[in-house]
Amino acid sequence: MVALDGPAGTGKSTVAKRLATALDARYLDTGSMYRAVALAVLRAGVDPADEVKVSEVADNAVLVVGTSPEKPGITLDGDDVAAEIRGPEVSLAVSPVSATRHVRELLVAQQRAIIADALDHVGGIVVEGRDIGTVVSPEAPLKVFLTASADARAARRTKQDTAAGRQSTVDAALADVRRRDKYDSSRAVSPMKAADDAVEVDNTELDLAGTVDALLDLVQQRGLRVTG
Ligand code: DC
């Protein structure tokens, strides 16, 4: 198993999927689970900052998350929500929702079950998030904390937004990157931080292929399975 943590804008999702494909392993995007709960909260008309109501919504939401690196997929109460959870409303609501203790307890339990199942049946899984190496799977044989400078992450975001036809400026992206970093690393429950024994990989100067290669080297150095 590979635990891949780090902030947004590092290319973490793309890197995690490519790594899983190269290793013939499963893939779990834990951020998509927090996003799906945030969508359930919005659909229920609940204030994302209301911990009691958010917890109730989370208890009643039926989430099914796929683990194929090619097409992970996620459903909420039977609806395919893979596209909707990437929208701006969900991106805003997910910070307070993911800071809710009960939501984290529920999702961490579900994540551990998915990981155990993948390890039993397939033999390998790459799991991406913020607290995988620290909380979800402290026993993971390889933990990577992927970072890049705030400027590099903001520039990547602006490029993505522009390519997708959304208006974007580097200044606004930088402000947003800093806001989310601060929120994710200062929350009381499971703040984002590197595990003591995580390998920190800074990809400010690396492209996606270079980052995947760096991680594949680490997998090999640890003697983890490479294929099959
Ligand atoms: O990686 P992402 O942007 O899809 O994550 C969405 C939000 O969920 C982000 O605000 C951080 C939070 N998150 C978390 O708290 N713990 C995780 N394991 C994964 C994501």
- Per-residue pLDDT tens for 6-62? 998 899 999 999 999 999 999 999 999 999 999 999 999 999 999 999 999 999 999
Query: How far does residue 35's CA lie from ligand 1's centre (Å)?
Result: 7
Q: For residue 220, what pLDDT is reported? A: 93
List, run by run, the mean pLDDT of 10-residue segments along the chain (228 residues).
Answer: 93 96 96 98 98 98 97 97 93 93 98 96 93 96 96 92 85 89 84 92 96 96 70
Domain locations along the chain: 2-219
Please name the residue that has the structure tokens 């529920």: 106
User: Taking the model in full, what pTM does it have?
Assistant: 0.94
Looking at the domain 2-219, which fold is it? Answer: Rossmann fold (3.40.50)
* Residue type at 50 in one-letter notation: D
Q: Are strands 79-80 and 125-129 parallel, antiparallel or unpaired?
A: unpaired
Q: Is 31 in the pocket of ligand 1 (CB under 6 A)?
A: yes
Query: How far does residue 169's CA lie from ligand 1's centre (Å)?
Result: 23
Q: Is 131 in the pocket of ligand 1 (CB under 6 A)?
A: yes
Q: For residue 66, what pLDDT is reported? A: 97
User: Which residues on neighbouring strands pair with residue 80, listed in sequence order?
Assistant: 75
Q: For residue 226, what pLDDT is reported? A: 52
CB-CB neighbours of 141 under 10 Å = 12
Q: Is 96 in the pocket of ligand 1 (CB under 6 A)?
A: no
CB-CB neighbours of 103 under 10 Å = 25
